[in-house]
Structure formats: C-alpha cells, structure tokens
Amino acid sequence: MKRATLVGLLVLAAGAALPAGALAGSGLRVRGNHLVFGAGRGRVVQLRGVDRSGTEYACIQGWGVFDSTTPMQPDSASMIRAMLSWTIDAVRVPLNEDCWLGLGVKAPYGGSAYRRSIERYVHRLSRAGLFVILDLHWAAPGHTPAAEQLPMADANHAPAFWRSVARTFKRDHDLIFDLFNEPYGIDWSCWRSGCQIPAGPGYPAYRAAGMQQLIDAVRSAGATQPLMLGGTNWASDLSQWTAYEPRDPRHQLVASEHNYGGLSPCGASCQAAVVATTRHVPVVFGELGETDCATDYIDPMMRFADRHGISYLGWAWDSTASGWSCSNGPALISSYAGTPTAYGAGFRAHFRARGVPIRP
C-alpha cells in the first residue's frame, strides 16, 4: 500500500503500471459505518479530494471528452501531479450515460472511444495513488440527449449504463460507484423504488429507475465495490436516507450529501441529519463548495466533516482559464498547474494541514 505523495509522483514519472486494488478483500470497502482500506479489517479512510468536471458535458456537446488543455486525452501526468501536490487521495469523475453507451453522440466522443478514454483516466489516477469515484451525472430517457441533470435516473438507460460500467471496472477495488448525482423534485419512495416523472424543462415524461434498481444493476454484473447514494433535494437532504435505505447484498452502501455556501448551505437541521446518518453508514460530501470566491463557508464545513469522520470533495478541479470562475462553477484552480483560486486556496491549505492520507 502506497502512503506517500512521493510514491505517486515517482509512479507517474516512470509510467509504471501498478495493480489497482488487486484483491477485493484489501481494497476500498465499507465496514460498519466506515470506509476502510487494506488487508484484514482494514484502516479507516476519510477521503479528501476533488471533483473533476468535464467528462459529463464535453462529449454530449460534441467537442471532446475532457475539459482540459487536451480535450481528447485524459489529464496529463503533470496535471495529475498538480492534484497530488494538494495532498488529496480521491477524485470524483462525472459521467454521461449517452456518451458511455454511444447513444446519439459523435463517434469520436461516444461509445467505445468514450469508454476507453474513461478507462485510461481511471487507470492513470489509480497509478498515481488516488481513489476514484465514478458518478452518473447526466442522463436522459429515450432519444432525448443527456445534456443536463434529470430529477432521477431513467429506467431506459441508467441500469444498462451501470451494468456496463460495473463490468468494466469490477476488478478495480480502489473505486466507488456514485449511482446518481443529484436527485431532485421526487419523494423518498421514488428515490428508492422509482416512479413516473412528469415532463419538465428539457425532458419528456419518463419512468425513473430507483436506487434499488441501480444497485441491482451493479451487483448483477458481479461488481462488489462500495456504492454512493446521494439524498433528495439535489443530494442536500439525508433526513430519510436510513429510513428508505435500499437493499444491498454486499452491505456496501455510502450516503452522499452535497452542500454549497450561498447556494445550498448545510445548516443545523442538515448537519443533524448528516450526523445521524454517519451512525449507520459512511457519509461523503460528494460536492462541497461556495459561490462567493471566499472560504468562510467551506472552512468550518471541512472542520465539521473532520470531527465526524465525513469524507469530502471540493467542486471542481476545473480552471478559470477554460471559462470557469470561482463563483460560477465554482472553480478550485486558475490553471491546470494547480494554482488555486482564492476559493480553492482554502481547500488546498486544509488538505495540506491534514497531511498525507492513506493511498491505494
């Protein structure tokens, strides 16, 4: 098990291929209400990392796979070294189901080309000593392009997406599957079991797949990795998560919560629900940020997460040079050399102060 950032840097420099979580029994997994990693009972892991946006939208917009200096290629070794310089141990990668399945997407950016690009990126991140979270971010029913967020995953394509992703990565035990980014406009029954969604802006009426159906899709492919389930109300509400918890024969479920200062802050009642959920399953702030280019919100939220053993990922590792800003995004960096925005500086300082985390 690699534990030092230096090891990750040397691996990148040498281009060496290391087995990623070769044994399920020593990989990243859920034990009780903790994520653990390593042989035996494993060591408790608190993931601290970033969201790397771009792979959910560049492909469907028809200009690339990645939002970076090389839109057709995974982030370079130097760009991943910049991530490592922040002392992180996890990267969440948003995916587009149409691009993965090759539904109505230009050939260079969809189907097998998209899948190969994502596989290469996951392997690069894993070789660098980073855990990876794969997230179904954009989806769409029928022939509607997956060009925005849906209220809930669609029964048309999302189960097929997860069966395919699970088959592709089932031997990689340094990763987590985040089943659906941000459910919204639905109740908890629909969240768990699916329902009929009425037509809305940009999408027709459709049948939603519930979290249970998505779990079943992953497990039917033989994958055993932990599964992240974002709560309702754009993943900001965990108040009924445990009451509606779906069944997982592997007992590998993780609750995901998203919160942003200035947009969807996690106040007293939200924090109480989060803490209550941590007593039952691991909790990850799958997206954490604020939209005023400052750190007054994220600083205390990271301290809160540290006190309660909650993992967290800063949104998003995308550069202001590519059209993002620290308020519209928000963007953690001003360049892919890892130079932080004023907002990103808060994350970098906190990550570095926490020290080198456990690495796969």
β-bridge mates for residue 290, sequence order = 261
d(CA 2, CA 20): 11
β-bridge mates for residue 90, sequence order = 49, 131
d(CA 287, CA 51): 7
Domain assignment present for residue 128? The answer is yes
- Please, which pLDDT band fits residue 191 given cuts at 50, 70 and 90? very high
Domain assignment present for residue 51? The answer is yes
How does DSSP classify residue 329?
A: S
**pLDDT value of position 359:** 75
d(CA 122, CA 132): 7
Amino acid (1-letter code) at residue 290: E
- The three-state secondary structure class of 310 is coil
- Residue 23 reports pLDDT greater than 80: no
Return the CATH number at 71.
3.20.20.80
Identify the CA nearest to 90 among candidates 210, 22, 168, 8: 8
Domain assignment present for residue 194? The answer is no
d(CA 139, CA 160): 12
How does DSSP classify residue 320?
A: G
Between 323 and 183, the higher pLDDT residue: 183
Domain assignment present for residue 266? The answer is yes
d(CA 46, CA 313): 11
How does DSSP classify residue 257?
A: E
Residues sharing a CB contact under 8 Å with residue 85, sequence separation 6 or more, in sequence order: 5, 338
- Range scoring the smallest mean pLDDT among 53-57, 66-70, 137-141, 169-173: 66-70
- Range scoring the smallest mean pLDDT among 2-6, 89-93, 249-253, 340-344: 2-6
Number of domains into which the chain is organized: 1
Q: How many CB atoms lie within 10 A of CB 306?
A: 14
- Please, which pLDDT band fits residue 3 given cuts at 50, 70 and 90? very low
Domain assignment present for residue 198? The answer is no
**Start-to-end C-alpha separation, the chain:** 6
Backbone torsions φ then ψ of 290, nearest 5 degrees: -150, 160
The chain-wide mean pLDDT, for the chain, equals: 93
Domain assignment present for residue 138? The answer is yes
d(CA 77, CA 95): 21
Residue 10 belongs to domain spanning: 5-188+204-354
pLDDT in tens, 213-236: 999 999 999 999 999 999 999 999
Percentage of the chain exceeding pLDDT 90: 88
Give the chain's count of helices (H) and strands (E).
Answer: 12, 13
Question: What average pLDDT does the segment 246-264 reach?
Answer: 97
Whether the CB-CB separation of 151 and 199 falls below 8 Å is answered with: no
d(CA 146, CA 104): 9
Question: What average pLDDT does the segment 161-177 reach?
Answer: 98
Domain assignment present for residue 199? The answer is no
- Residue 2 reports pLDDT greater than 80: no
Half-sphere exposure of 161 (CA within 13 A, CB side): 33
**pLDDT value of position 6:** 33
Domain assignment present for residue 195? The answer is no
Residues sharing a CB contact under 8 Å with residue 40, sequence separation 6 or more, in sequence order: none
